[in-house]
Structure 1
Amino acid sequence: MKILVTGANGFIGSNFCKFLVSQQIFPRVFIRKNCDMSLFKQLVPEWKQLEYVYGDLRDKSSIRPAVRGVEYIFHIAGTIKGSSWIEFYEGNCLGTLNLIKICEEENPDIKRLVFTSSMVAGGPGTPESPQCEDTPSKPLENDWYGISKYYTECCSKKQTNKLPIVIIRPPMVIGPGDKISFDLFNIAKIGIKVFVSGTPRQFSMVHVEDLVKGIFLCGTHPKAIGETFNFAYDGTISYRDLHEVIATKLFHRKYGNLIPIPIPPPLFYFVGLILELVSKISHEPPFLNRPKAIQASASGQTMSNQKAKQILGWKPKFSKISALEHAGRWYQQQKWL
């Protein structure tokens, strides 16, 4: 298989390349020059055996050599943090549209183009009414990240008559190398749990190892073309319970002993803004930014996984509890915690 992976150095991209190499598939990777490759090299010891094309998805000319000659493209690159709409537009919409356009020109007979979107493109979901792939999408107002992913999905779907495109919507993803969700574990270690006040909001999640298997299925299953798939565990969890599970499994605290810190939605949004500003100084992605504050204040972030199970035969290895424990053990082994 001749495969191109965009965003290979990121959290999901690095884990996906690790999976490919475990299958004796050595992909071509498209990354920015001088990007941080530390996680990629850690997770993919065979990294020197891979082919590298350096460029920027906002630059069409740099995309051309990357797409030539490949049979499958797994587009994982994207912008998850930013301080303006234009940053999310350029990182998610423009970059994806450029990739599709150049692929049409340079490689119109490609077998599959798999685009990683996000559950927030579809909008909120609750345990009683989880988000499904085929229901109308309603991203939250002012959630620039969700709106940028939704807009990109709409533009991608218009090209399915020209290219075999598949769209993936993951929820919250946890696992080895995730610097964003790491803060959830750090908070529990301190002995507190932080959440939006009011009725507990439920959300879906998935371990990165289960997600990358789903991504690969979307690239190889004959019934995947033209479809959108959610990849999430059965059942949901609230942030209050999530912190308690982490504290119990990793730090041997008694369940229910964490100090609760409920934050009203307006203040939660303000905290997201402050953490964005701090991240510009620290150069570390914040767990909470303004789009995530908007999402966390919604009625819920749950999704159905039935379509992936029925059509693709996707079956997760982890449960939400074992996924949290596995991710936390990795942080401990790396001495992050």
Structure 2
Amino acid sequence: MSNRNSKILITGANGFVGAALARALAARGQPAACLVRPGADVSALEGLLYERVEGDVTDAASLARAVQGREVVYHLAGTRRGATREDFHRVNAEGTRLLCEALVALGTRPRLVLVGSLGAAGPSRPDQPRVEEDPLQPTEWYGESKAEAERIVFGYADRLPVTVLRPPRIVGPGDHENLPLFRLVARGLRLELGGGPRPLTLVDVEDVVDLLLVLAERDEALGQAFFVGHPEPLSLERIQELAAEALGRRTRALPVPPAVLLGLATVADGVSRLTGRRLALNRKFARQLLAPAWTCTSDKAHRLLGFRATRDPAETLRQTARWYRAHGWL
């Protein structure tokens, strides 16, 4: 850990993508300042050189302190699970607004890179991947909050140099979001929703990090939003097959009708509201699973920045399954 004042700040730095970005910056000799909530689990940052900054994106005073002296801010902090619309908007949208206000107040125009989501654009058609020019059409609360965060950021584009990255489903060792699927496979089960296959654009976390580093440096990225993903989509069925292969497990189908999945997710959200626990199943996750497709094209990033996501998600999924088992997550 470093005590020096870094010129780079990462919000949500102890999350899956944030920690990967912090590792990449440290490897480049640019240890970042990492904004983490008091008492947060920072095990993902273990062994890294970084500056720890305690605060919360919903706390304006802590943000004002955290942004002092920064030249680049990567905004990754957010919540992916919530029982109400307000749970998502308070952190993902209003937290973004508070950060923008803190940066404007500096008067030095630090560069802001927001990590948004394909969820802000909404699901695609199986035969027509999303492109950046499409209108934002989110279909659930998480996507709504990320779309609003984008609108907020671009509303500050006359006062701050801003860029938005919209990753699809991100994969890689250490990821929690896809872990429930791997745990099912490890138990010899395979989720079968019917009506599929539903194509999914995936992206390796290291490709996301590589593009984030580019977005913070290239003027062509200013005022723009970008998708990033591997050109060959996979499906929920194929993801589970790859996990089973890597784990050496034979699986049997666990049929779950869409109505049952949504019903269970609604119950899980009720439990979350009552207990405060964020469960793996929720309506956001259920609606994402049931959408006809979640695909996007990264042609804009290649056209403007010469960037392509080159890591094969199929191999990444195999590596992830082995990593989960080696680290006792399964």
Normalised by the shorter chain, which TM-score bucket?
A: over 0.9
The letter for the 1-side match of 2:150 is E
Do 2:171 and 2:313's aligned partners in 1 also have CA atoms closer than 8 Å?
no
Is residue 198 of structure 1 aligned with residue 195 of structure 2? Answer: yes
Relative to structure 1, the CA distance from residue 284 to residue 330 in structure 2 (aligned partners, 3 Å threshold; closer, same or farther) is farther
Preserved CA contact (<8 Å) 2:116 2:166: yes
CA distance in 1: counterparts of 2:257 and 2:60, whole angstroms:
44
Decide whether aligned partners of structure 1 residues 187 and 304 sit closer, same or farther in structure 2, where only a CA change above 3 A counts. same
Equivalent residue number for residue 237 of structure 2: 240
Match of residue 309 from structure 1: 302
CA distance, structure 2, for counterparts of residue 314 and residue 71 of structure 1 = 23
**1:17 deviation in Å?**
0.4
Structure 1: stretches of 5+ with no match in the other structure: none
2:70 aligns with 70
SS where residue 74 of structure 2 aligns?
strand
**Which position in structure 1 is the counterpart of 2:320?**
327
Structure 1-normalised TM-score? 0.90
Q: 1:334 to 1:220 in 2, by over 3 A?
A: same
Alignment equivalent of 1:11, drawn from 16, 28, 35 = 16
Q: Which residue of 218, 222, 231 maps to 1:221?
A: 218
- The amino acid across from 2:112 in the alignment is L
Cα displacement string for residues 274-302 of structure 1 (whole angstroms, at most 9, x for unaligned residues): 44466789987544311111122111111
Aligned residue for 1:91?
A: 91
Alignment of 1:251 with 2:247, yes or no, is yes
Question: 2:148 maps to what in 1?
Answer: 151
Structure 2 residue 293 is the aligned partner of structure 1 residue 288: no
What residue in structure 2 maps to residue 131 of structure 1?
130
Tell me what 1:52 maps to. 52
Per-residue CA deviation, residues 216-250 of structure 1 (Å, 9 max, x unaligned), is 111112210111011111111111121112112x1
CA contact (8 A) 1:69 1:107 kept: no
CA distance in 1, matches of 2:276, 2:172: 21
Counterparts of 2:144 and 2:48, CA distance in 1: 37
| Cα distance in structure 2, aligned partners of 1:285 and 1:317 | 33
Is contact 1:126-1:202 (8 Å) kept? no
Q: For the Cα contact (< 8 Å) 1:73–1:114, is it kept in 2?
A: yes
**Amino acid aligned to 1:69:** G
The separation in 1 between residues aligned to 2:273 and 2:318, in whole angstroms, is 30
Q: What amino acid does structure 1 have at the position aligned with 2:291? A: A
CA distance in 2, matches of 1:113, 1:15: 18
* 1:122 and 2:121 aligned: yes
3-state DSSP of counterpart to 1:130: coil
Q: Distance in 1 between matches of 2:321 and 2:267?
A: 26
Residue correspondence of structure 1 range 32-47 to structure 2 within 5 A: 32-41=37-46, 45-47=47-49
RMSD of equivalent CA atoms: 2.0
Distance in structure 2 (CA, Å) of the matches to 1:269 and 1:261: 15
Q: 2:82·2:278 contact (CA, 8 Å) conserved in 1?
A: no
Deviations 1:160-205 (A, max 9, x none): 1111110111111111221221121121222221142223211111
Give the residue type in structure 1 aligned to 2:210. Answer: K
Q: Report the CA distance shift for 1:283/1:235 in structure 2 as closer, same or farther (over 3 A).
A: farther
Q: Deviations over 1:4-51 (max 9, x none)?
A: 11011111111110111111111111111111112221xxx134xx22
Question: Identity of aligned pairs, percent?
Answer: 31
Cα distance in 1, alignment partners of residues 180 and 273 from structure 2: 17
1:173–1:90 distance in 2 versus 1, CA, 3 Å: same
Asked if structure 2 preserves the Cα contact closer than 8 Å seen for 1:179 and 1:285, the reply is no
Whether the aligned pair in 1 keeps the contact of 2:13 and 2:19 (CA below 8 Å) is yes
Identify the residue that residue 3 of structure 2 maps to in structure 1.
none
For the residues of structure 2 that align with 1:277 and 1:331, how far apart are their CA atoms?
A: 29
Structure 1 13/283 Cα, relative in aligned 2: closer, same or farther at 3 Å?
farther
Specify the alignment match of 2:26 in structure 1. Answer: 21
User: What is the match of residue 262 of structure 1?
Assistant: 255
**Amino acid in structure 1 at the alignment position of 2:28:** Q
Question: What SS class does the counterpart of residue 294 from structure 1 fall into?
Answer: helix
Partner-residue secondary structure (3-state), 2:220: coil
Deviation at 1:107, TM superposition (A): 4.0
